[in-house]
Amino acid sequence: MRRAPILLAALVMVAGCQSTGQETKETKERCSGTDSPDAVHIIRGGTTPLPGGARAGINTIGDDHEATLTLMGGAPGDPGPLTVKVGDQFTVTGHRFEVIKVCGSLVSVLEGS
C-alpha cells in the first residue's frame, strides 16, 4: 500500500517535467529576439560551421543579451572576436549574417544577401 503514493508522486514529477514545446515567461525573459527555422544556431561550448566555410564560437553572453563571438576561418580583414546584439549584422568569408536571437547559451544568425 505504501508504494501507491510513491508511484503517484513519481508520475506527477515526470508529467511536470515534460515539455509542451512552448516558451515559458522565464525562457522569454532570458532571451532576446525571435528565432527562425532557417537560422544557424551557434551553441556555447563548441564551434558552429557557417555558410561560406567560416566557423563561429561563443565567448560570452551577458545578462544584457550582448554576445561576444569568435569567428574563425575568414579571409584577412574579416572580423575575429566580435560583440553583437539582436539586429546587428556582420560579414565573414563574404557572407553577411544578421543576429536574430540571443539566449543564455545560444546565438541565432540568419544569412542575408
| CB count in 10 Å sphere of residue 96 | 14
Residue 73 pLDDT: 81
Q: Which domain holds residue 100?
A: 29-112
Count of domains in the chain?
Answer: 1
- E strands, 7-105, in order: 32-33, 40-43, 47-49, 55-61, 67-72, 81-84, 89-92, 95-102
Q: Is position 105 within any domain?
A: yes
Residue 7 pLDDT: 40
DSSP code for 48: E
Q: Is position 19 within any domain?
A: no
Task: Give the residues of the chain that fall short of pLDDT 70.
Answer: 1-29, 74-75, 77-78, 113
Residue 15, beta-bridge partner list: none
Q: Is position 65 within any domain?
A: yes
Contact 106, 43 (CB under 8 A): yes
Q: Is position 82 within any domain?
A: yes
Q: Is position 14 within any domain?
A: no
In one-letter notation, the amino acid at residue 61 is: I
Q: Is position 1 within any domain?
A: no
Residue 29 pLDDT: 56
Q: Is position 91 within any domain?
A: yes
Q: Is position 40 within any domain?
A: yes
Residue 28 pLDDT: 47
pLDDT by residue (tens digit) across 37-51? 999 999 999 999 999
